[in-house]
Amino acid sequence: MFTEVLVALVIGGLIYFLVQRSRTQVLKTKDGWWGCGAQPAADEDVTIRPFKVTTSDEELEDLYRRIDQTRPVPSLEDSQFNYGFNSQYLQKVVSYWRNDFDWRRQVDKLNQYPHFKTKIEGIDVHYIHVKPKKVPEGTSPIPLIMVHGWPGSFYEFYGLIPLLTEPSNPNDLVFELVCPSIPGYGFSDAPHKKGFNSVCAARIFHKLMKRLGFQQFYAHGGDWGYLVTTNMAQLEPKIVKGLHVNFAPPAKPGLVMMSSIMLGRRFPQLFGFTDMDIERLYPCMQKLVVHSIRETGYMHIQATKPDTAGRGLNDSPVGLATYILEKFSTWTNSDFRNLEDGGLTRKFSLDDLLTNVMIYWTSGCIISSMRFYKENFSNGLNEPHATMPVYVPTGYACFPNELMHTPKLWVQQKYHNLVTFTPMARGGHFAAMEEPQLMAEDIQKFIKLVEKKKK
C-alpha cells in the first residue's frame, strides 16, 4: 500500500512539475533590424509623431486615368462569383468608384481618430490611438490593442471603436484602443529584409505598447491578427492580461483533432461537438478539403511568389479591387459565390469596401502585405510557436460563416486557459467590420470575466 501511494505521489509530482514547467514556457525572440542597409550605431529615434492621411489632385487624377484605361472582360454566362469576381457587377463597382466615391470625404473619416507613427527596429510603425472621452469616476480605461489581417486594415475596427470607447451601457468597461498597421500594411513601412513574420510583428507591437506607457494590456485579433496577438501572449504572458480572437485554425493536426474528426459524427457528445460543429465539419472530405482548396488558391501564390502576382495588382486599381473585394464576398459567406453581385453590399457599404481598397492603393502596400504569407509559411508548421500552448486567459468568438470552423475542443488544444467560447449568432471572416456590435459584446463579456477573476 505504501509503495502504491509513493508511486502515485511521484507520478503526481512529475505531472505537476511538467505542467508548471510548460506554464513558464515563453517564446524566445531577438531584436531585428528591418530598415535599409546595416543598422546604424546610433540609438534609434523613439519619437512619437502625429500622422494624417492625405490625398491630392495628382493622386486622384492618376487613379481615374488608370480606371479609365481598364480593359473589361465578360464573365461566363450564369457564373455568378464561382469563377471569381463577376465582371458585370465589377463594372458597376468600378463606375461607382470612378464617379460617386468621395475619397476626400473618406480621408476625413479616417482622420477622425488620432494617427501616429514611431520608428521601431528601423521602420515607421503606424497606429491609431483612441482614448475615451469619458471614464467613470474611480475607474481607469482598459488598454486594448486590436490587430487586423489580410486583405484588411486598421479601418476594419472603425465601427467597433466607438462601441468600446463610448459604450452606451453604464455597466460596460471603457477601453483605450491602439490599432496598428502590421508592418508592410497600410501606412506602416514595409520591412526591407527577408524574414519578417508574425513573431517579429508581435515583438514590435510589444515595443509599441511599452513606448506608449502600458505595463499590461489586453489584445484582440482576427485573421493574421489572431496569430500576431497569440505570439504576443506567448512572448510576454505576464504583460498580456487576456487574449480575444475570432480566428483560431489548428496549427498542427494532433491525436485529439484526428480522433474527433473520425469519431465525432457518430459520438458527438464524446468530443463536446454541437450541432454547429457537425454541420460545419461533415461530410469531412467536402467540408475540410474541397472548400479549403476552393478558397485558398491566393494563399499558395502569396506563400511562394508574392512579388510576381503583386506587380499587376500594384499597377491596376481595378485589378487590386477585384482581388481584395472578392475575399469580402466569399469569406463573409461562402453561399455569396452563387449571387451575381457576390452579396457584397448585404453586409458592407461600397464606401467602406473601397476605403479599405484605397488604403492599399494609396500606400502601395499590396506586395509587402502579400509577402507576410511567404515569411510565415517559409518553415511550414515547424515554428516554435506552432506547438507552444497559450496560458494567457483567452476568449474565442466563433462566427458561423468563418472560413475554417474550429470546435471548442480544438481551440482548447492551443489555448489552455479558455475563459469564454461564444457561438455567435451571425457573421463571417471580417467579423469586426461586419458585426461590430456582436464583437463588442463578446469582448466586453470576456474581459469582464477576466477582470472579475483577477479581483
What does pLDDT average to over the chain?
92
| Domain coordinates in residue numbering, the chain | 48-252+296-454
- pLDDT exceeding 90 applies to what percent of the chain? 79
Q: For residue 284, what pLDDT is reported?
A: 64
Q: For residue 5, what pLDDT is reported?
A: 41
Q: For residue 285, what pLDDT is reported?
A: 52
Give the distance between the most distant pair of CA atoms in the chain. 88
pLDDT at 396 over 90: yes
- The closest of 454, 371, 443 to 143, measured between CA atoms, is 443
The H-or-E segment that residue 259 falls in is helix 255-263
Q: Which of the following is catalytic: 373, 391, 396, 415?
A: 373
Lookup: cell for 309: 502576382
Res. 2 pLDDT band, cuts 50 70 90: very low
Our answer to whether residue 405 is catalytic in this structure is no
Query: 3-state class of 418 per DSSP?
Result: strand
DSSP classification of residue 122: T
pLDDT at 17 over 50: no
Identify the sign of the CA torsion 369, 372, 374, 377: negative
For residues 357-385, average pLDDT: 93
Those residues whose C-beta lies under 8 Å from the C-beta of residue 47, and which sit 6 or more positions away, are 118, 119
User: How far is 206 from 27, CA to CA, in rounded Å?
Assistant: 13
The highest-confidence range among 10-24, 222-236, 248-262, 374-388, by mean pLDDT, is 222-236
Our answer to whether residue 68 is catalytic in this structure is no
- The closest of 173, 176, 188, 162 to 129, measured between CA atoms, is 176
Q: For residue 272, what pLDDT is reported?
A: 87
Render pLDDT for 31-54 as a digit per residue (tens, 0 to 9).
999 999 999 999 899 999 999 999
Q: For residue 24, what pLDDT is reported?
A: 64
pLDDT at 100 over 70: yes
Q: Which of the following is catalytic: 172, 189, 223, 277?
A: 223
Render pLDDT for 140-196 as a digit per residue (tens, 0 to 9).
999 999 999 999 999 999 999 999 999 999 999 999 999 999 999 999 999 999 999
Counting every residue written for the chain, the total comes to: 455
For residues 402-430, average pLDDT: 95
For residues 236-243, average pLDDT: 98
Determine whether domain 48-252+296-454 maps to CATH 3.40.50.1820.
Answer: yes
Identify the sign of the CA torsion 384, 390, 391, 393: positive
Our answer to whether residue 373 is catalytic in this structure is yes
For residues 388-404, average pLDDT: 96
Render pLDDT for 49-66 as a digit per residue (tens, 0 to 9).
999 999 999 999 999 999
Render pLDDT for 261-299 as a digit per residue (tens, 0 to 9).
788 888 788 888 888 888 888 876 565 667 778 888 999
Q: Which of the following is catalytic: 89, 185, 429, 442?
A: 429
